[in-house]
Amino acid sequence: MSVLVFLEFNNNELKETSKQALTYANDINENVYAISELKISNDVVESLGKFGVSIFLINTVDFNENNILKCIIPTIEEFKINCIIFPKTNSFSYLSSILSTKLNFPLINNVNSVARFENKICLKSTIFSGKAEADIEIDSNSCILVLNKNIINSTSYKKSVIIKNLINKNDNSLSNNVVSLKKEKLEGDILLNDADIVVSAGRGLKGPENWKMIEKLAKILNAGTACSKPVSDAGWRPHHEHVGQTGLKISPNIYIAVGISGAIQHLAGVNSSKIIVVINNDPEAPFFKHADYGIIGDAFDVIPKFIDALK
Ligand SMILES: Cc1cc2nc3c(=O)[nH]c(=O)nc-3n(C[C@H](O)[C@H](O)[C@H](O)COP(=O)(O)OP(=O)(O)OC[C@H]3O[C@@H](n4cnc5c(N)ncnc54)[C@H](O)[C@@H]3O)c2cc1C
């Protein structure tokens, strides 16, 4: 097995989900290739050895369809890579599907366990919006795995990184049909997908003006902020904070839900969080059934007290 990991950075820092993907790859084969869409400095490339990168593929192109066909696929073929690993993020869902189609590699989403490579590739993945787990056997020597967050702890290595260039196959017959119209890069101190702790709030907060206390709590906890769908639909919070079936799916270590009822569509995006804390004034709120810790109370009383206690 030759393994390639697609990496993501935030402000030149390798994201935790990418570090976990590298550890996962090293468990399969210690000769790990890595690539990133972002241009990164030599210093940062060299530092990737401590996260488990053996060979870094220097990339100068966007991951649009044309470049995938011209550069990424020929490179994967040239280096005989047969296992491609993605940390689960929105930006990689398009790329993983297109590579699966073009290379004819089986694609497994929501991978939830370390893979065993025997005659077949055996692993577990979450299905039905995280409500069940499937045992998967892949009858193929190749695969693309999209990893759930926190299924493995990132480890440190002592590797020196070898740098290689992408193969560039300039073939005019390649498709130019798909054009990327708009790409929005989210930046910030704590991105939702990477956050270890997430403070999320719903319609129980009554209006956007009341999010100050949520932001304050998140800041003290070094947490990301999220919200329910009606909240982002109403424009109280930006759409990229919406979690659930139709929004982001996240798996932080701690998910704190304030004034959110716990509808099934919301749970679909957060039920793989390690610890769920629910704050709601209705003791019958469905979210309590899924909570590890619950506080029955008015958010406007509880959150300021919570903040004071943490201070
Ligand atoms: C096809 C489809 C897809 C959907 N996708 C998503 C999705 O991806 N994500 C999502 O979130 N929803 C989604 N929904 C909507 C979902 O069904 C719920 O309507 C939504 O999650 C409810 O949001 P909420 O909990 O913020 O609001 P509400 O249901 O109005 O709940 C507010 C909660 O706040 C509590 N509350 C009120 N005041 C206070 C207070 N002062 N202190 C403490 N608690 C208080 C109430 O007891 C209540 O439990 C989807 C729905 C459909 C049909």
In a shared domain, residues 98 and 231: no
State how many domains the chain has.
2
In a shared domain, residues 140 and 260: no
Residue whose CA is at the smallest distance from ligand 1 atom 38: 204
Distance of alpha carbon 134 from alpha carbon 108, whole angstroms? 11
pLDDT in the model for residue 168: 80
For 74, phi then psi, to 5°, come to -60, -35
For 290-308, the pLDDT digits (tens) are 999 999 999 999 999 999 9
Q: In angstroms, how far is CA 114 from the centroid of its own chain?
A: 17
Q: Is 299 in the pocket of ligand 1 (CB under 6 A)?
A: yes
- How many Cα atoms are found within 13 Å in the side-chain-facing hemisphere of 272? 27
Which residue's structure tokens are 């709120």? 285
Is the Cβ–Cβ distance between 143 and 106 less than 8 Å? yes
CA of 262 to the centre of ligand 1 (A): 6
For 212-263, the pLDDT digits (tens) are 999 999 999 999 999 999 999 999 999 999 999 999 989 899 999 999 999 9
pTM exceeds 0.95, yes or no: no
Q: Which atom of ligand 1 is nearest to the CA of 227?
A: 11
Q: Is 146 in the pocket of ligand 1 (CB under 6 A)?
A: no
pLDDT in the model for residue 182: 64
Domain-located, residue 183? no
- Average of pLDDT values for 116-143? 87
For 168-225, the pLDDT digits (tens) are 877 555 555 555 556 666 655 677 888 999 999 999 999 999 999 999 999 999 999 9
Domain hosting residue 119, numbered range = 3-165
pLDDT in the model for residue 175: 53
Domain-located, residue 170? no
pLDDT in the model for residue 277: 98
For 144, phi then psi, to 5°, come to -120, 125
CATH number of the domain at 240, please: 3.40.50.1220
Q: Is 301 in the pocket of ligand 1 (CB under 6 A)?
A: no
Residue whose CA is at the smallest distance from ligand 1 atom 50: 265
pLDDT in the model for residue 192: 85
For 265-285, the pLDDT digits (tens) are 999 999 989 999 999 999 999
In a shared domain, residues 138 and 44: yes
